[in-house]
Each structure stands twice: as C-alpha cells, then as structure tokens.
Amino acid sequence: MITMLHDVTIQLQGSILGFEAHNEYRIDVIEENDQFANLQSIEDPNISFLVTSPFSFHEQYVFELEESIKSTLQVESQEEVAVLAIVTIHEKFMESTMNLLAPIVINTKSLIGRQIVLPPDSGYKTSEPLFAPISKESGE
C-alpha cells in the first residue's frame, strides 16, 4: 500500500499532532525495506516521520472511520483508503513501536489525508510494539 503512494503530494491539512503548521507531505519509500517510508514535510525538509502500514505487522488492527472523517477525506469506498502508522525506532530495532492510537488515513484517489485520534476505548496505544502482538487494553 505504501508503494502506491510513493512520490506523490498528500494534503494532511495540518492534522499531524504537534505539526499543525505543515499541510503538504511526500511519501518516499525506503529502498532497502519497502515496508517503511519517510513521510516528509514539503514546507520544512527538517520534518520527517518514519511510517508503515500497520496491517503489515498487525493484521488484526481494525477501527471504524467516522462519517465526518469520510466526508472530509472524500472517501467513497474502502478500497481508496490507505492507513499509515508513525514508527518510533528504538536503539534495539526489535523493540521499536508504532502509534496505533493516532493513524494517518489517506484517500489514495484524492490524496487528502488526516491523522485521526481513535477513541480511548479503542484499546490501542501510541507505542504499540512493532514486532509483537498488540494487547488491547479493553480486554478483548
């Protein structure tokens, strides 16, 4: 899914938490491992996030998009939605984490995206292990 977004400009509408002044981003797939990409701010080349498809590591990851988000992103079908998670690399790579509580949702057709924050009862965290099964706090 990441490779289909390679080298296109995505409008994130200032939705990345803490980076509200930045709207346009480009996704550059990492050649050595195409499961990962850099989400690079076009406005400020010093701002970049390592991202991945959370489904590549956690097939059971699931959430429902609110109708207001679908409308904002101009989503007409599930097939035109890509989901990315921001990755935090740790000194020991196998201990790296990803943010499943606040995924980045992108309409692959319109190239409009937003970082959304899932409800607290979703059970997901901002630092879920990248290489271990997720443990939902809700006890499911």
Q: What is the pLDDT of residues 84-109, one digit of tens each?
A: 999 999 999 889 999 999 999 999 99
pTM of the model: 0.90
Helical spans, DSSP H, in the chain: 67-73
Pairwise CA distance, residues 82 & 86, whole Å: 13
Which pLDDT belongs to residue 118? 96
Q: Is 129 helix (H, G, I), strand (E, B) or coil?
A: strand
The tens place of each residue's pLDDT in the chain, 140 residues long, gives 677 788 889 999 999 999 999 999 999 999 889 899 999 999 999 999 999 999 999 989 999 999 999 999 999 999 999 999 999 999 998 899 999 999 999 999 999 999 999 998 999 999 999 987 666 654 44
Task: Go through 58-95 and write b for each residue having 16 or more CB atoms within 10 A of its CB, e for each that does not.
Answer: beebebebeeeebebbebeeeeebbbbbbbeeeeeeee
Domain extents for the chain?
3-129
Tell me which fold the domain 3-129 belongs to: BH3618-like (2.30.290)
Q: What is the dihedral of CA 61, 67, 68, 73, to 10 degrees?
A: 70
